[in-house]
Amino acid sequence: MARRADTIELAVLGLLHEGPMHGYELRKRLNLMLGWGRVLSYGSLYPALKKMVRTGVIAETAAVAATTRRPRIVYEVTEAGHAEFERLMSEVGPTAWEDDNFDIRFAFFGRTDMEIRLRVLEGRRSRLQERLARVQAELERTQAEVNRYAAELQRHGVESVEREVRWLSDLIQAERGGQAVDDAPAADPAPGTPSPGGAPGPTPSTTLT
């Protein structure tokens, strides 16, 4: 299972590929990327940044902001960080399609080749299909034993995951057809990510993990 620190490191490296950022901007961008309901605290981000500076994948410099005399730490990716990002994005094992890690990797799919994208998408879909089969079987066994609201919550979770499976299938079909995501027909928003109107897409119920 991917550690949260590893997921944060991948996200930070990906964002810093766009250019140097200070900690506040990084946190704001990371929270947008992680989606509704998953807020990243400074207590999680800054230890990760310090560790990344120590390992040499990012560098920090002090810059004086125009609106204040206090120096502000700005972070930028190093050559070692570029190489580490490429290595992390090329991994296609089970950690690539875990919930949080998949969302981050998907945000940077434009920097990977089609073969890697397909393997990650197919792995994520298989993971969810296994989850669905297990929970649906459990739901059938326990439906008579749980109250109405617990049953509704379980059904909502199943429907959310079914929707993500359909979304993944559409993406896989587009990739196999050589169609860029930007050119593909509009599909359901990715679970847990903002829709064009600003509302988050469906998030699979935690009862399905």
pLDDT in tens, 186-198: 444 445 444 333 3
CA 199 – CA 178 distance, rounded (Å): 30
What per-residue confidence (pLDDT) applies to 143? 72
Q: List the beta strands (DSSP E) in the chain.
A: 21-22, 58-64, 71-77
* Per-residue pLDDT, 125: 97
- Which of the four pLDDT bands, split at 50, 70 and 90, describes residue 1? very low
Residues 82 and 12 sit within 8 Å (Cβ to Cβ): no
CA 57/CA 122 separation, integer angstroms: 30
Distances (CA, A) of 119 to 101, 113, 171, 194: 14, 10, 12, 24
- Residue 184 has which token pair? 């593909």
pLDDT, tens digit, 9 for 90 and up, residues 33-53: 876 556 677 788 899 999 999
